[in-house]
Structure 1
């Protein structure tokens, strides 16, 4: 029997609504629309939980141990999984060796000993280089899994999924939204694209750092969702910035207006984040991430629907550029918030 996560039901352990499963019915999609419950007291339905239990004891390989990937890898190790890594920098290799991880000499060597290979690198070229040119996919065992946590083009995910399938390897696009801090708090969002059975199989690994796991569709769908999410993020930052400018022009204290919006129906995460963006180094870090993702989104997402987002996204990037200069201080800077919230600067690797 197949299951689909398609209903809301009361979860007695936590006394509130959470997603529950029902048997698939005629007319349902072939894949399960899965919002995996990861709240205390919730569990997967027996069929999916049985599939997911196959993740226990998996050997995990990880490449890309920076601001985002580093905390994710640490949490996988803390979750009791056999973790191996490959890194270019000696100090990173030494750090993970001290933490008990196995250090591979090459990406292909790492792939050969991994049931699940996680990539959290910068872009399309990096992913292709590791998987194809450096032979990671060719070295992987039958039915092993590649997890793409990087933010790349959906078309790249689709092409690599086909390339992997020809070699009996399963490739999933699993972009995340959150931060290094969120990974350490087990509250990351993981968006999933690809084979549903493979997703169920790796749930125990994802649970090491995720608070919400959402099935988006087939190969590339999760990457499209991530690009839309980040497109909205930069637009919301621009709107929050302009709202504070408008309030100041109307004689309103920007700090008071921010608190009002956060408590009102106009609230957005960007209005919370914008105070932390008053720190130029932090604004520069966020700008670097979102400038890349906006370019990918405007290139890869369907037209004409994406066209209306172009001026809004550019306005958001322009607001970040102003914040990078430190020349427009609408709110007191919050350096204490540097280790909290979205786009955290965790460390370098």
Structure 2
């Protein structure tokens, strides 16, 4: 069982995940390009490191939670990176959302260098990260997944090995397709209800109790009604995820027409300068297409 954990990437998701690992009894050392994020971890039970090499020194497991594929490649493969400085045999777990092919390539390279590499992206957003109730979808060898189980249990409500290296990222891409499509339809339903002068709060409450109910409606509905788009998950990151998913679909020769349309709406939201808002701000695109303004 791992006891000393290096956590690299202490952003909106990474910091609460690292804190939960520390609270679960792991010895957690964090590194982030912005040093104050590592200091925030130190103030909440972990330790701060000034470099990747310092963070991974003596670590049994290294977890990365980074924005995109190039970031993960740099942190793992770059000079002074994880593969160059971590102890041989360490578990290397990437919990970012990246291209499945990149995850497979990193796993192969890590194996050559004596590391056990897993791709383990998560779903649940900032609230799930804070509560330790993320869903973790894991790709990699079964024995390595079993070794990492205590780490996943500290940050998530559920974790499932979904296949070999890269499978976790493939499942996460499917997750992002579903979430984006759901967000788009919740946005359309809300504007539809408001267009008819219906009490949207009452309407969405009863919709949530039937087959239209979903985690998206439950977690995002109130903020969308009130036009509060503080980022729990930034639209620009979901836009990146949708590009990953649509590209992977083309590679597999799979048609995803509805998801492709949702991807265009997410891209339009970001192109208008709203990428830093929560992904539920898709509502703004629906309002624009409808020629409507947000209610005061």
* TM-score normalized with structure 2 length: 0.84
Secondary structure of the 1:232 match is helix
Residues 1:102 and 1:285: Cα distance change in structure 2 (over 3 Å) = closer
Residues 1:99 and 1:261: Cα distance change in structure 2 (over 3 Å) = closer
Cα deviation digits, residues 13-47 of structure 1 (max 9, x gap): xxxxxxxxxxxxxxxxxxxxxxxxxxxxxxxxxxx
Distance in 1, matches of 2:89 and 2:166, equals 19
Distance in 2, matches of 1:149 and 1:116, equals 12
Distance in 1, matches of 2:127 and 2:261, equals 31
Secondary structure of the 2:29 match is strand
Q: Which residue of 2 aligns with 1:329?
A: 294
Flag the structure with larger Rg: 1
> Which of 224, 239, 243 is matched with 2:189 structurally?
243
Cα deviation digits, residues 117-165 of structure 1 (max 9, x gap): 0100111111111111133112222321111111110010000000000
Distance in 2, matches of 1:235 and 1:154, equals 21
CA contact (8 A) 2:140 2:166 kept: yes
Say whether residues 1:158 and 2:104 are aligned partners.
yes
CA contact (8 A) 2:121 2:172 kept: yes
Larger RCO (CA within 8 A; separation ≥ 6): 1
Distance in 1, matches of 2:42 and 2:72, equals 24
Residues 1:257 and 1:328: Cα distance change in structure 2 (over 3 Å) = farther
Can you give the 5+ residue segments of structure 2 that lack an aligned partner in the other structure?
A: 270-279
CA contact (8 A) 2:39 2:47 kept: no
Distance in 1, matches of 2:181 and 2:266, equals 5
CA contact (8 A) 1:85 1:104 kept: yes
Aligned ranges 1:1-349 → 2 under 5 Å: 54-55=1-2, 58-134=3-79, 135-250=81-196, 252-272=198-218, 273-277=220-224, 278-282=226-230, 286-301=234-249, 302-315=252-265, 320-323=281-284, 328-329=293-294
Residues 1:251 and 1:82: Cα distance change in structure 2 (over 3 Å) = closer
Cα deviation digits, residues 239-262 of structure 1 (max 9, x gap): 112123333445533333212211
Distance in 2, matches of 1:246 and 1:115, equals 53
Can you give the 5+ residue segments of structure 1 that lack an aligned partner in the other structure?
A: 1-53, 333-349
Residues 1:243 and 1:96: Cα distance change in structure 2 (over 3 Å) = closer
| Farther-moved stretch of structure 1 (75-84 vs 267-276) | 267-276
Whose helix proportion is higher, 1 or 2? 2
Q: Which residue of 2 aligns with 1:39?
A: none
| Count of residue pairs brought into register by the alignment | 276
* TM-score normalized with structure 1 length: 0.72
RMSD across aligned C-alpha pairs, in angstroms? 2.5
